[in-house]
A and B are shown apart, each in its own frame.
Chain A
Amino acid sequence: MSDTNAQSVAFVRNSEIPASPPPLGETGPVKWMRENLFSGWVNSVMTVIAFLLIARFIMGVFPWFWNGVWDASSIKDCRNIMADAGTAGSACFAVLVDRWDHLLFGFKYPATEYWRPTLAFVLLVVCAMPALFAMYLPRKLLIATALYPFVAYWLIWGGSLWVPVVILGLLAVTAAIYLFIEGLSVSLRQAVAGIVGALSGIGLGYLLYLGAQELWFISGNVSAGEGIVSTVAGFVFMIAAIFTYAFFIPMGIFVGYAIYNSYEDGGLVTIVTTLFSLYALMVYGLGPISAAINSVVPIELEAVASRDMGGYMLCMILGTVCVSLSIPLGVVLALGRQSNMPLIKGVCVVFIEFIRGVPLITLLFVANVMLAYFFPPESSIDLILRVIIMITAFSAAYIAEVIRGGLAALPKGQYEAADSLGLNYTQATRLIILPQALKISIPGIVNVAVGLFKDTTLVSVISMFDIVGMIRGPIQQSTDWISIYWEVYLFAAAVFFVVCYSISQYSQWLERQLQTGHR
């Protein structure tokens, strides 16, 4: 210690000065604005220009919005009201009031039954909770989720309650058959495999024979046309027909024998038998049983045909069903594509690459127009079902690739560790591989799901009246609301934004919840 201090310092503070507030320019909103908006002359100019643009936009849009007319019977009426009020050129939201039901439910859904889809929607929110928030709710509540599709089907389509109940019962019977076959002794199962193998061999052979005849018929028709295209097309169909004719018997024998031969392991024969009995029960059992119960205890809602569905309800139906079906299908396809078995791998690769290589709109046209040629006029598959199949196949192919990305991202050590623990393929996939792969894939899956939900509006081009179809057809082309534009499209954008933004928020929340490994 030197002694300089003692002589040069006259005063030593022995108490701390109370902290004084920071200068005005260095705190609060002023500081924030200086740092973020006016940090240099370039940024200051940009800020001013941006504010001017925003103000101009708001000043233009706000009166249009605020002076909007909510009560009028037609667009002319609307214009008269606005002219009287001196606010000409404002929005005419009266169209939303006038056609509210049509925008939500389509114009053919019976007005007295609107409570049914509304209730189905409320139940959807309630019943989806156990699946979406599985970590916070008891697992038993998942039963409600599993039962929901049957309840919703009954509510929306109506008809007899016993149809969905009997379907549920038949599914339970099928599960029992599955367990029964699986539990059989090997010799008994050999007998079952013989019968099932023979039946499915003959059935497949017969189907291929019919297909060959059909191909031959088409080739004759097509090559009857003029020009190189029809000649080539006819030739292709003819080759396909000859090929099928040549192979229908060998294919039948081969498949039948393959099923029989699997009796020791039991996998194939169990699955084929279960599918067989499910098909037989649904085709021959469902109608008579439900009709019989219904004649004793009639519980019925007014039936609504599929082509009467419309509006936002149709988008919700297609979106919910297709998303929930395409995720499991996508997982199966992704696993199949990674499989070592050439047949399964080949089928999955061809399916994914074909579906991804084709625009959704062509698939929808095929579903709507072309399928009508291959069915008799009265017995075609339900239109909504056709569309659901096409959209599901489409998004499943995309989800499969997203999940394959997740599978590929897992370190090889994870697979090897699972093997070294002695887990078989199913256990390893279920316990080790999929939980990690799916977690990685969440953003991608949600991306596909949101895209798919918005793609449901494409059905308007095949003359189904979803919300966009309602707007473009019956509303814009009605005598009352001819050529109304901004109001209706803004409404459609708003309802889609609500759902898509919720999905996105949920997925971000889910990612945070599952971030166990990288904290």
Chain B
Amino acid sequence: MKKTVFLGALTLSGLAAVAASAGTLDDVKARGILNCGVTTGVPGFAAPNASGEWEGFDVDVCRAVAAGVLGDPTAVEFVPTTGKTRFTALASGEIDMLARNTTWTFSRDVDLKFEFIGVNYYDGQGFMVPKELGVSSALELDGATVCIQTGTTTELNLADYFRSNNISYEPVPIETGAEAVQQYNAGACDVYTTDASALAAQRANFPDPSAHVVLPEIVSKEPLGPLVRHGDNEWGDIVRWTLNALISAEELGVTSVNAAGLAADGSNNPEINRLLGTESNLGEQLGLDADWAKRAIEAVGNYGESFARNIGESTPIGLARGLNASYLDGGLIYSPPFR
């Protein structure tokens, strides 16, 4: 806590230096390139492929913003950050936005002075056990050894959950996901716990996925979303409404394929017209041109397309939409109206 105050004060002095320069939008336009912070690698969310291009669900948010602001989805400089360096990179102005499956929490929003602009993936912490253990609920895990990544919120969630249910456990601290899988498969621990999306992705790539089950309990809320610095609301609006444009496009049935046609021919739905810039002046209000949302949708597809391409059921990651379905299908993904 004390350290946080000290770092927070340093962050402030960094912010003061940044605030002296022009707004982030002007900086990005002058630079001609968007500096976007991503992870050093999370399967399906952000990782460079064999030809060295970044791809993934979080990467798509960066590309959509770049397409909207600069007109070119490839005009992004991806700055890889670790869990330890991500916040200083954003606070010091090294990156313009951070799209790095970061959990939206009170202290990050308020104490660290960041602005979460929305949620692009609702995650939660789950447990995976070998089927032969015969466990069907996390409440039966009394005395189990648990593989857990150190220094993450999952460690704290685990302690909270087991204490409130009065169960004992023995933690096996692990540094990375790959190491955890090795330890778990070698039998060093009975249970492996981390975010449910990562559990599913790693289980899908086990030699024998059917020998392991993910328990039904989800013990924490992990709303993951992109974030920007406090204090530049114009830039925050641009990133927020770019994400909302992708979500709205799914709700309205606008896809990367039909967006150009809908914009050219016009449509009977005024909200589609406003989204694609053929009616009203929403783009201008953001300080961009009328086509910004159309370009973003054409670059990465709507929310559903991006989900299906990067982490959906047809990919090796194989995640179901679940909580992340559109509200029309009973999920939580919901955008305020474009009006």
The reply to whether chain A is a binding partner of chain B is yes
Chain A positions within 8 Å of B, measured between CB atoms, are: 74-76, 79, 88-89, 98-99, 102, 107-108, 111, 217-218, 221-222, 224-230, 233, 307, 365, 368-370, 372-373, 376-377, 380, 461-463, 465, 469, 472-480, 482-485
Interface of A is mostly: helix
Q: Does B182 contact A (CB under 8 A)?
A: yes
Distance of A474 Cα from B13 Cα, bound (Å): 34
Residues of B within 8 A of A482 (CB): 43, 178, 201-202, 205, 316
Q: Can you list, as one digit per residue, whether each of B39-50 has a CB less than 8 Å from chain A (1) or not (0)?
A: 111111001111
Q: Does B85 contact A478, Cβ atoms closer than 8 Å?
A: no
Residues of B within 8 A of A98 (CB): 50
CB distance from B158 to the nearest CB of A (A): 21
Partner of B41, one of A76, A217, A476: A476
- Contact of A476 with B176 at beta-carbon distance under 8 Å, contacts A75-B205, A229-B5 already known: yes
Considering only CB atoms and an 8 Å cut-off, how many residues of chain B contact the other chain? 51
Q: Does A373 contact B92, Cβ atoms closer than 8 Å?
A: yes
Q: Does B144 contact A (CB under 8 A)?
A: no
Distance of A461 Cα from B50 Cα, bound (Å): 22
Q: Does B80 contact A485, Cβ atoms closer than 8 Å?
A: no
Residues of B within 8 A of A88 (CB): 207
- Contact of A377 with B12 at beta-carbon distance under 8 Å, contacts A476-B178, A482-B43 already known: no
Distance of A483 Cα from B203 Cα, bound (Å): 10
User: Which stretch of B14-22, B213-221, B264-272 is in the interface?
Assistant: B14-22
Q: Does A372 contact B41, Cβ atoms closer than 8 Å?
A: no
Q: Does A465 contact B201, Cβ atoms closer than 8 Å?
A: no
22 cross-chain CB contacts under 8 A:
A75-B205, A102-B52, A107-B52, A221-B9, A222-B10, A227-B1, A229-B2, A369-B85, A369-B92, A373-B13, A377-B92, A463-B40, A465-B80, A473-B39, A474-B47, A476-B177, A477-B41, A479-B315, A482-B178, A483-B177, A483-B181, A485-B181
Partner of B177, one of A230, A465, A477, A480: A477
From B204, which residue of chain A is reached at the shortest CB distance?
A482
- Contact of A76 with B316 at beta-carbon distance under 8 Å, contacts A463-B82, A473-B47 already known: yes
From B20, which residue of chain A is reached at the shortest CB distance?
A376
From A477, which residue of chain B is reached at the shortest CB distance?
B41
Q: Does B8 contact A (CB under 8 A)?
A: yes
Chain B positions within 8 Å of A, measured between CB atoms, are: 1-3, 5-6, 8-10, 12-14, 16-18, 21, 39-44, 47-52, 79-82, 84-85, 88-89, 92-94, 176-179, 181-182, 201-202, 205, 207, 315-317
Q: Does B85 contact A99, Cβ atoms closer than 8 Å?
A: no
Residues of A within 8 A of B205 (CB): 75-76, 482-483
Distance of A477 Cα from B202 Cα, bound (Å): 10
Residues of B within 8 A of A217 (CB): 13
Q: Does B21 contact A479, Cβ atoms closer than 8 Å?
A: no
Distance of A393 Cα from B5 Cα, bound (Å): 30
From B206, which residue of chain A is reached at the shortest CB distance?
A483
Interface of B is mostly: mixed
CB distance from B5 to the nearest CB of A (A): 4
From B53, which residue of chain A is reached at the shortest CB distance?
A107
Partner of A474, one of B8, B48, B88, B177: B48
Q: Does A225 contact B5, Cβ atoms closer than 8 Å?
A: yes
Q: Does B92 contact A372, Cβ atoms closer than 8 Å?
A: yes
CB distance from B51 to the nearest CB of A (A): 8
The listed residue with most A CB atoms (<10 A of its CB), out of B18, B42, B48, B85, is: B48
Distance of A426 Cα from B160 Cα, bound (Å): 67
Distance of A226 Cα from B5 Cα, bound (Å): 7
Residues of A within 8 A of B88 (CB): 369-370, 372-373
From B175, which residue of chain A is reached at the shortest CB distance?
A472
Residues of B within 8 A of A230 (CB): 2, 5-6, 9
Distance of A229 Cα from B1 Cα, bound (Å): 10
Q: Does B316 contact A74, Cβ atoms closer than 8 Å?
A: yes
Residues of A within 8 A of B6 (CB): 222, 225, 229-230, 233
Residues of A within 8 A of B47 (CB): 473-474, 477-479
- Contact of A484 with B178 at beta-carbon distance under 8 Å, contacts A102-B52, A372-B89, A373-B92 already known: yes
Residues of B within 8 A of A483 (CB): 177-178, 181-182, 202, 205
Distance of A75 Cα from B14 Cα, bound (Å): 44
The listed residue with most A CB atoms (<10 A of its CB), out of B5, B182, B315, is: B5
CB distance from A387 to the nearest CB of B (A): 14
From B311, which residue of chain A is reached at the shortest CB distance?
A479
Distance of A469 Cα from B291 Cα, bound (Å): 39
- Contact of A462 with B85 at beta-carbon distance under 8 Å, contacts A88-B207, A222-B9, A377-B93 already known: yes
Distance of A102 Cα from B52 Cα, bound (Å): 8
Q: Does B182 contact A463, Cβ atoms closer than 8 Å?
A: no
The listed residue with most B CB atoms (<10 A of its CB), out of A227, A463, A476, is: A463
Q: Does A225 contact B207, Cβ atoms closer than 8 Å?
A: no
Partner of B178, one of A376, A462, A463, A485: A485
Residues of A within 8 A of B10 (CB): 221-222, 370, 373
CB distance from B284 to the nearest CB of A (A): 28
Residues of B within 8 A of A480 (CB): 49-50, 316
Distance of A465 Cα from B78 Cα, bound (Å): 13
From B30, which residue of chain A is reached at the shortest CB distance?
A378
- Contact of A473 with B40 at beta-carbon distance under 8 Å, contacts A373-B92, A482-B202 already known: yes
Residues of A within 8 A of B52 (CB): 102, 107-108, 111
Q: Does B93 contact A218, Cβ atoms closer than 8 Å?
A: no
Q: Does A377 contact B207, Cβ atoms closer than 8 Å?
A: no
CB distance from B195 to the nearest CB of A (A): 13
Closest 9 CB pairs of A and B: A477-B41, A473-B40, A377-B93, A473-B41, A372-B92, A107-B52, A225-B5, A476-B178, A229-B2
Distance of A428 Cα from B181 Cα, bound (Å): 61
Q: Does B85 contact A221, Cβ atoms closer than 8 Å?
A: no
CB distance from B115 to the nearest CB of A (A): 18
The listed residue with most A CB atoms (<10 A of its CB), out of B1, B12, B50, B84, is: B50
Residues of A within 8 A of B9 (CB): 221-222, 224-225, 230
